[in-house]
Amino acid sequence: MTPTWRKPAGMFAILALIAIWCVVIASLSPVVGGWAWWLQLPFYLVTGIIWIAPLKPLLRWMETGRWR
């Protein structure tokens, strides 16, 4: 079995996704920082979990070469 280019490309895509997501969420910190802590908590919980959603198809593509 020969290694495919999909795994390294997928790893870079995952790292890019995380970096972009961090920049987007961090850019919202001036707005969110003015909220009460009980409003910040669900915001950061949801945004901390939601970035995982695009990983399933990406990981499937890395393994099989198909998106579905």
Confidence of residue 63 (pLDDT cuts 50, 70, 90): confident
What lies within 8 Å, CB to CB, of 31 at 6+ separation is none
If you average pLDDT over residues 32-45, what whole number do you get? 95
Query: Is the pLDDT at 3 greater than 80, yes or no?
Result: no
Q: Give the pLDDT of residue 46.
A: 95
Percent of the chain with pLDDT over 90: 68
Q: Give the pLDDT of residue 2.
A: 74
Sign of CA dihedral 58, 60, 63, 68: negative
